[in-house]
Chain A
Amino acid sequence: MDVKQCYEKMGGDYDDVMSRLRTDERIKKFLLKVAEDKSFDNLCENLKTRNIEEAFRAAHTLKGVGLNLSLTRLHKSASAMTEALRGKTEYSADFEPLFDKVKEDYELTVSCIREVE
């Protein structure tokens, strides 16, 4: 699978990322970093331990990553998560569906990235 196909499959905007980062090489290099990025793990962990402030930061970072690489789908769910967490200190059941969506999108994104050659 090439980079363009990967973007289609994981719900990203290939044209946008290409216009900004300019080469497939570079896009690929940073896609691989998404797979290594710890923000998603941090989000899971901090939600589990109810550290909402840290969870906000993790979601925020994940959102930034999605934005920078035009991972539209992941960016959208991470944004929703970020806004839900912003300024909160207490855990809320509202987080759960939002988190499930982030999880789903993140896993899809990572599995697509793994298939890039």
Chain B
Amino acid sequence: MKIHGGAKYANDKKKILIVDDSELNRSLLSDMLAGEFDIMEAENGMDAVVMLQEHELEISLMLLDIVMPQMDGFEVLAMMNKKGWIKNIPVIMISAETSSSYIDRAYDLGAVDYISRPFDERTVKHRVTSNYMLSVKQREMAEMLSTQVYEHERDNRLMVEILSHIVEFRNGESGLHILHVSTFTEMILKHLLTITDKYPLTPAEIKTICNASALHDIGKMSVPEAILNKPGRLTREEFEIMKNHAADGEKLLKDLPYRRNEMLIKISCEICRWHHERYDGSGYPDGLKGDDIPISAQVVALADVYDALTSKRVYKDSFTHEKAVQMIQNGECGAFNPLLLKCLDDIKDKLEKELHEVSPEHKMEQSLQVNVEQMLKSSGSDLSDRTIRLLEHERMKYRFYAQLSHEVLFEYFSSPEMIKLSEWSAEYLGLPEKIINPRESDFGTRVFSKVDFNRLMTRMAETTPENPIVEEKYLLNIRGQNKWNKVIVQTLWSDDENPKFDGALGKLVDVNNETEEMQQLEQLADHDALTGLLNHQAAKRKISKLLSDAGDKKYALLFFDLDNLKVANDVHGHLFGDTLLKTIADRMKNNTRASDVCARMGGDEYIIFMQYNGDPEPQVKRIFNCLTKPLDGFDVSISMGIALAEHFCGDYDALFHMADQAAYAVKYSGKNSYKYYNQLVGVSDKTEA
């Protein structure tokens, strides 16, 4: 893989990806196109997918061969379909295969054109340029379309709002009433769809109902102002006139000279006529009952009542949100569909926030945006240039920080499975930046051991979008050296309703020094500084362990102290005293096995814990003789007691006590010798029996 031509970023030339396994073919094409385009090359399908993964948004067009190793052209097209790249990147096939079945299959998979070999410079240039222009135009058109749709939608809404505002104006209602009714209607309907499939409404229908809701009271145009704005209770006659507004609204719309069949008009008619019906049949004008009342009118009725309750009117003060909800739920304001009451109950907190906290203008603009986006979503519009620049910017930022941090950073993609290392990390690990099929690669078998890598993969697969972090410690092989590393990974998920595992971001932190330091500290804590032997605590730990695992093994504990350290210090100086202590330690180490335990208890007391077969005497005798060899003319003298752990089931302390007693007996009977505890006078010899 390589990228021709100058700077990787901020290049005005458009990028083209040439995918062909023949170097000669690639350079032929590149030669023909390099004047107008920046050329990227991939030598097989897998390489191409890797490059697409990274440069999707920069690649303006792709030339693709069919017969290639690793992954052929059809598989690349299939992958591009799966990932949605095919929508944004025009693909021209460049194969020597000219059979129509090949060409058809490529077209079916979304290729836009086919250039057969041999390549002719004019043809190649022409096809590439025109297909490129086509896709650019398409992109521009999509942006124009989105602006147009946006403005059209805004004008539409404006008209509806002006119209309904006139009604409100006559009515003396707050200018926010229709906006509130529309917002309320939308939220209730959307929630309704999540709790039941009884009312199968499409997003477009919901949108229309919300728009139509603005017109629910246009029939009030025919009600005299004196009645509309009468502060007190209406008389029976006045109320009858007032009630006419429902049927009048419908009539007004039905009398429209044209477009009577439009969904907006039809739904507006329903809402106008029936937004004062009651679920129990007690409403007007028709006394419809239950779901004979269209769901649109049912929801608007509820919205209308709610907003009337929470607003100040000529004949009443406003109630709080809580009070209004409570009154509705108690049936004080008429009967409603129980499902709608459930919706109200479910989303009442959200409702209050939306209706009373969010500024109406912002709210309107926002919902307009959402609507336009939704409209365009299905027509598959493109990302704007600005978005691409922002992404490019983000990537530069990432590389820059990755470069500085000197940590191994990697990205993991799950399909096709690959790992991408940052530039620095790749160099540090001595691996390529892009690692395809990581489980089989050096990364997954050498840097990580196979077992560790599989464990990491499993741990990643076990994460959830809510809990995406994995932290593990592994011994990694980094350029031949084993180093402890902490691996921290955050898994990434698609933002669908059912999030899918997409990949992960990860980092390796070298904790080897910390781990080693820790081990050194442990070493220090366990050893005697002067002689390097174990200290008493550590020896006790080790010996206890050996004793408990002893099984058939026979052990002896030798305890001794120097008889004449004081003389050595007094006569030859303290330095010599230290040398003597160290020499004893060295002699101990030289005359025992690595599996034996040698320790200095403190002062001039030492122990040896060793395994023996049969009779311990030859070993003991040899050790005693070695220890007591003269040092620089000084006669080394020790008193040693030995306790045998054969058939012994006590603990270390008991054994130590026995050896200590034997040594004491030696001291008492003339020093510079050794005795076995079980041979002491007065000690019963049951163990030897």
| Given A30-B27, A67-B96, A68-B117, CB of A60 within 8 Å of CB of B67 | yes
Contact A67 B117, beta carbon cutoff 8 Å = yes
Contact of A68 among B23, B28, B67, B69 (CB under 8 A): B28
Contact B24 A68, beta carbon cutoff 8 Å = yes
Task: Chain A residues near B27: list those with CB within 8 A.
Answer: 30, 33
Q: How far is the CB of B219 from chain A (nearest CB, A)?
A: 76
A69 to B31 CA separation, bound complex (whole angstroms): 14
A65 to B117 CA separation, bound complex (whole angstroms): 9
Q: Is B229 an interface residue (CB 8 A)?
A: no
Task: Chain A residues near B120: list those with CB within 8 A.
Answer: 19-20
Q: Is A37 an interface residue (CB 8 A)?
A: yes
| Given A26-B31, A30-B28, A67-B96, CB of A61 within 8 Å of CB of B21 | yes
Contact B121 A22, beta carbon cutoff 8 Å = yes
Task: Chain B residues near A26: list those with CB within 8 A.
Answer: 31
Q: How far is the CB of A22 from chain B (nearest CB, A)?
A: 6
Q: Is B118 an interface residue (CB 8 A)?
A: yes
> In the complex, how many residue pairs between chain A and chain B have their CB atoms under 8 Å apart?
53
Contact B121 A20, beta carbon cutoff 8 Å = yes
Contact of A33 among B23, B69, B119 (CB under 8 A): B23
Q: Is A73 an interface residue (CB 8 A)?
A: no
Q: Is B22 an interface residue (CB 8 A)?
A: yes
Residue of B nearest to A53 (CB): B69
Contact of B118 among A16, A29, A61 (CB under 8 A): A16
Grouping DSSP codes into helix (H, G, I), strand (E, B) and loop, the A interface class, with mixed when no group exceeds half, is helix
Contact A63 B96, beta carbon cutoff 8 Å = yes
Contact of A64 among B25, B31, B69, B121 (CB under 8 A): B25
Chain B interface size range: 10 to 19
Residue of A nearest to B117 (CB): A67
Residue of A nearest to B31 (CB): A26
Q: How far is the CB of A29 from chain B (nearest CB, A)?
A: 8
A67 to B97 CA separation, bound complex (whole angstroms): 12
Contact A33 B31, beta carbon cutoff 8 Å = no
Task: Chain B residues near A39: list those with CB within 8 A.
Answer: 22
A96 to B117 CA separation, bound complex (whole angstroms): 27
Q: How far is the CB of B430 from chain A (nearest CB, A)?
A: 26
Cβ proximity bits B1-36 to A, threshold 8 Å, 1 near / 0 not: 000000000000000000001111101100100000
B71-130 interface with A by 8 A CB criterion: 96, 117-121
A22 to B120 CA separation, bound complex (whole angstroms): 9
Task: Chain B residues near A74: list those with CB within 8 A.
Answer: none
Q: Is A70 an interface residue (CB 8 A)?
A: yes
A54 to B119 CA separation, bound complex (whole angstroms): 24
A105 to B25 CA separation, bound complex (whole angstroms): 20
A68 to B95 CA separation, bound complex (whole angstroms): 11
Task: Chain B residues near A64: list those with CB within 8 A.
Answer: 22, 25, 96, 117
Contact A57 B24, beta carbon cutoff 8 Å = no
A33 to B24 CA separation, bound complex (whole angstroms): 6
Contact A68 B21, beta carbon cutoff 8 Å = no
Q: How far is the CB of A43 from chain B (nearest CB, A)?
A: 13
A59-95 interface with B by 8 A CB criterion: 60-61, 63-65, 67-70
Task: Chain A residues near B67: list those with CB within 8 A.
Answer: 57, 60-61
Task: Chain A residues near B21: list those with CB within 8 A.
Answer: 57, 61
A65 to B22 CA separation, bound complex (whole angstroms): 8
Q: Is A34 an interface residue (CB 8 A)?
A: yes
| Given A22-B121, A60-B96, CB of A65 within 8 Å of CB of B69 | no
Contact A20 B119, beta carbon cutoff 8 Å = yes
Residue of B nearest to A23 (CB): B121
Q: How far is the CB of B94 from chain A (nearest CB, A)?
A: 9
Q: How far is the CB of A54 from chain B (nearest CB, A)?
A: 7
| Given A26-B31, A60-B96, CB of A68 within 8 Å of CB of B121 | no
A67 to B119 CA separation, bound complex (whole angstroms): 9
Contact A68 B31, beta carbon cutoff 8 Å = no
Q: How far is the CB of A19 from chain B (nearest CB, A)?
A: 7
Contact A61 B121, beta carbon cutoff 8 Å = no
Task: Chain B residues near A33: list those with CB within 8 A.
Answer: 23-24, 27
Contact of A67 among B23, B31, B118 (CB under 8 A): B118
Task: Chain A residues near B23: list those with CB within 8 A.
Answer: 33, 37
Q: How far is the CB of A41 from chain B (nearest CB, A)?
A: 13
Task: Chain B residues near A67: list those with CB within 8 A.
Answer: 96, 117-118
Cβ proximity bits B594-632 to A, threshold 8 Å, 1 near / 0 not: 000000000000000000000000000000000000000
Task: Chain B residues near A61: list those with CB within 8 A.
Answer: 21-22, 67
Residue of B nearest to A19 (CB): B120
Task: Chain A residues near B119: list those with CB within 8 A.
Answer: 20, 68
Q: How far is the CB of B440 from chain A (nearest CB, A)?
A: 19
Q: How far is the CB of A27 from chain B (nearest CB, A)?
A: 10
Task: Chain A residues near B118: list those with CB within 8 A.
Answer: 16-17, 20, 67-70
**Residues of B participating in the A interface, judged by any CB pair closer than 8 Å:** 21-25, 27-28, 31, 67-69, 96, 117-121
12 A–B contacts, CB within 8 A, in A order: A22-B121, A30-B24, A33-B24, A34-B24, A54-B69, A60-B96, A61-B22, A64-B25, A67-B96, A68-B24, A68-B117, A69-B118
Q: Which 6 A-B pairs have the closest CB atoms?
A: A20-B120, A64-B96, A67-B117, A33-B24, A68-B118, A61-B22
Besides A26-B31, A64-B96, A65-B22, 20 more A-B contacts (Cβ < 8 Å) are A20-B118, A20-B120, A20-B121, A21-B121, A29-B31, A30-B24, A34-B24, A37-B22, A37-B23, A37-B24, A57-B21, A57-B67, A57-B69, A61-B22, A61-B67, A67-B96, A67-B117, A68-B24, A68-B118, A70-B118
